[in-house]
Amino acid sequence: MSQTSRNLLIWCIVFVSIFTGVSFLTDQNEKKSVNAVTYSQFIESINTGSIASIVVQGPNISGKTKQGKDFSTYVPFHNPSMLQDMVSRGIDVVVKPMESEFSFWAMIIPWIPLLVLVGLVVYSMRQMHASGNKAIGFGRSSAQVIEGKTVTTKFEDVAGVDEAKQELCEVVDFLKNAQKFQKLGGKIPKGILLVGQPGTGKTLLAKAIAGEAGVPFFSIAGSDFVEVFVGVGASRVRDLFGQAKKNSPSIIFIDEIDAVGRRRGSGYGGGNDEREQTLNQMLVEMDGFDASNTVIVIAATNRADVLDNALLRPGRFDRRVVVPLPDLLGREKILDVHMAKVPIDTDVKKNVIARGTPGFSGADLANLVNEAALFAARHGKATVSMKDFEYAKDKVLMGSERRSMVIRDEQKKLTAFHEAGHAVVSLYTQGSDPIHKATIIPRGDALGMVVSLPEDDHTSLTYETLISQIMMAMGGKVAEEMIFGKNQVTTGASSDIKAATHLARRMVTEWGMSERLGFQYCDFINSSYGIKDISDSTSRVVDEEVAALLTSCFEKTKALLVKHQDALYALANALLMRETLSGDEVRLVCEGHELPPLTDFADEARAKPADDATKAGKDGRGGESSEVKRRGRPKKDATTFDAEPL
């Protein structure tokens, strides 16, 4: 219940209590306000014959006069002859049994206002006490504590990181049987740093350790330590480690430790006092473990380069476990884990999906399976087929289709040649990755795109591969200039220019691929102190080398497209007809072969679903359908635009 609702309820109770008490007192006053007469007046009224009726209830007598007035009196003794005399005088006499003198509500109701007042005082005191406890507990740790027996995650639930699991199995053995290592003088690492890209399963590995060992698991984020007030973070660190020691053997897991473990004295202004005090306290706690306290600290980060050196030294985080992106076999195992939760069709081939998803993390693959299941559910399928996985992969790689977007024919033609330029350069350049798909259907922020997927996992990139990637990025802009002229070049190549420039600069400054600079690393801004790390003359040489590399690649790209201009035109026309082409279809078109006919025009991945009239190109009234008007009627062959001399 919110604080506002609680306060409203309290005031409602107060109002009802006061109303009840006032009503009760009013009733009592009304009873007392009935015309009370003395005993002598009552006898006199009987003698004069002015009483019409009475009600006798023990010693209490009430009644009405003949004038209609109410009265009451009290008779101290019973006098049966008096009642007989009243009956003989024609007075209507009613006799009722005497009520019990004890009335629960008569006793309780008068005390209700006082009880409510006491309750309000007690509630206010408790609120003040709670506020005091909150202030005292401001420096306590907010870690989530999970009992070891309740952790259901095991190593079998973590796939694709076999080497990392092997290193962590030793930690589990130590938590289960510490004497086995201690009797030989061995000491388990006090801190284990999990390093890897986002989504690779670092947090899942930490939970699996707790699940396998069956020990308490204290989970907290690095940002939970840092507060505005200096000293609060250090207090929380002391409290967290104190709780872990009381429950040892146990595991402390700190996610995104770079939020608190960043190198001291770095950044503008010399650092942050609160964060540095928190880090100092963490260093003290990790280095002050007793041998009897089997508490292991596991931390995760994807920015190990910014961590303080004192945090990484032996005795603190003395074991560093790299959690890499999964390879081909790892991706298959991850798919096995996630596919076990959804009904899979018999045509699904995990090895094909794994081969087509290089660079995907475990989280990416989980998202892929989920998107495929959602797509199958939207179409009322009972199982998830290979076609659903293909759709999900395209959505993850390229974004959702925006078929409702209205595009002019001129813009559509320009987009087709732009994407055809990318595809032709990729197809005829040595070292480039195979094309997965080319499309001119808007997806995400792009009006079209060409996606390439490597045949295997790249461990390193060669000079030839890097040059092919730069040339492919330039292919779209070069094709626009060649076909439409420089005056009609669009802004669609902005991301391509950024990618090509970034690659060229890294080749020159980081990878030693410049003859003028040779074997040296040229970092413009030192990440530790935020200052320029190279001279102005070297910076000028870097700019000249980057510009020369980009100019050379641009000329090579232009020469390549001039040589293969027939393939460029054929591919652009095929994209205008089909809108989406697979890698094999791109290769067929560029080699001069005809495309096989579409077997299903309503295929979700190739065209928008339409009714029979729309499929026939009619709107039901004999005219062009709105879909055909928007997208243009396809031509009969792939020679819609004739090739011109370039």
- What tokens does 14 get? 């107060």
332 in catalytic set: no
Top-tier CATH class for 144-322: alpha beta
Segment 199-207 shows an average pLDDT of 84
Q: What is the pLDDT of residue 315?
A: 80
- pLDDT for residue 354 is more than 90: no
Q: What is the pLDDT of residue 636?
A: 35
622 has a pLDDT exceeding 80: no
Once rounded to an integer, what is the mean pLDDT over residues 108-137?
63
State the pLDDT confidence band at 498, using cuts at 50, 70 and 90: very high
User: 274, 371, 419, 480: which one is catalytic?
Assistant: 419
Percent of the chain with pLDDT over 70: 74
Structure tokens at 244: 């872990």
Rounded Cα–Cα distance for residues 59 and 543 (Å): 116
Share of the chain above pLDDT 90, in %: 15
Cis bond leading into 249, ω under 30°? yes
**Cβ–Cβ < 8 Å for 297, 254:** yes
pLDDT at 521: 85
User: In the chain, what is the straight-line distance between the N-terminal and C-terminal CA atoms, in Å?
Assistant: 74
Q: pLDDT per residue over 209-247, tens digit each?
A: 878 877 888 888 877 777 656 667 788 888 888 888 888
Distance from C-alpha of 374 to C-alpha of 393, rounded to nearest angstrom = 13
Q: Is the pLDDT of residue 269 over 60?
A: no
Between 12 and 377, residue with greater pLDDT: 377
The yes-or-no verdict on residue 328 having pLDDT over 80 is yes
- Please report the pLDDT score of residue 477 as a whole number: 92
Q: Which residue has the higher pLDDT, 509 or 77?
A: 509
Whole-prediction pTM value? 0.62
How many residues in total does the chain contain? Answer: 646
Q: Which of 62-66, 416-420, 514-518 has the lowest mean pLDDT?
A: 62-66
Over residues 17-28, mean pLDDT? 61
Pairing status of strand 317-322 against strand 144-146: unpaired
Query: Could you tell me the fold of the domain covering 409-631?
Result: Methane Monooxygenase Hydroxylase; Chain G, domain 1 (1.20.58)
Q: What is the pLDDT of residue 607?
A: 39
Provide the CATH topology of domain 3-106: 3.30.720
Within 13 Å of residue 173, how many CA atoms lie on the same side as its CB?
Answer: 13
The 10 Å CB-count burial string (b at 16+, else e) for 536-572 is eeeeebbeebbeebbeebbebbbebbeebbebbbbbb
Are 433 and 453 in contact by the 8 Å Cβ rule? The answer is yes
Average pLDDT of the residues of the chain? 76
Q: What is the mean pLDDT of residues 280-304?
A: 77
Place of tokens 């892929």: 368
The answer to whether 408 and 427 are in contact (CB under 8 A) is no
pLDDT at 200: 85
> Mean pLDDT, to the nearest integer, of 364-393?
90
Listed in order, strand segments (DSSP E) in 340-484 are 435-439, 449-452
Instruction: Give the confidence band of 302 by pLDDT, cuts at 50, 70, 90.
Output: confident
Average pLDDT of 119-125? 72
Task: Answer whether residue 317 shows pLDDT above 60.
Answer: yes
pLDDT value, residue 476: 92
pLDDT (mean) for 155-170 = 81
| Residue 264 pLDDT grade (very low, low, confident, very high; cuts 50, 70, 90) | confident
Q: Show me where the domains of the chain are located.
A: 3-106, 144-322, 336-397, 409-631
pLDDT tens track for 398-446: 777 777 666 778 888 998 999 999 999 999 998 888 888 888 888 777 7
The answer to whether the Cα torsion of 538, 543, 546, 552 is positive or negative is negative
Does 88 or 361 have the greater pLDDT score?
361
Q: Which fold has domain 336-397?
A: Helicase, Ruva Protein; domain 3 (1.10.8)
Q: What is the number of other CB atoms lying within 10 angstroms of the CB of residue 361?
A: 22
Lowest mean pLDDT among 184-193, 567-576, 611-620: 611-620
Q: What is the mean pLDDT of residues 463-479?
A: 93
Q: For the residues 481-494, what does the mean pLDDT come to?
A: 87
7 pLDDT band (50/70/90 cuts)? Answer: low
Of 278 and 136, the one with more pLDDT: 278
Residues 268-297 have a mean pLDDT of 70
Q: Is the pLDDT of residue 573 over 70?
A: yes
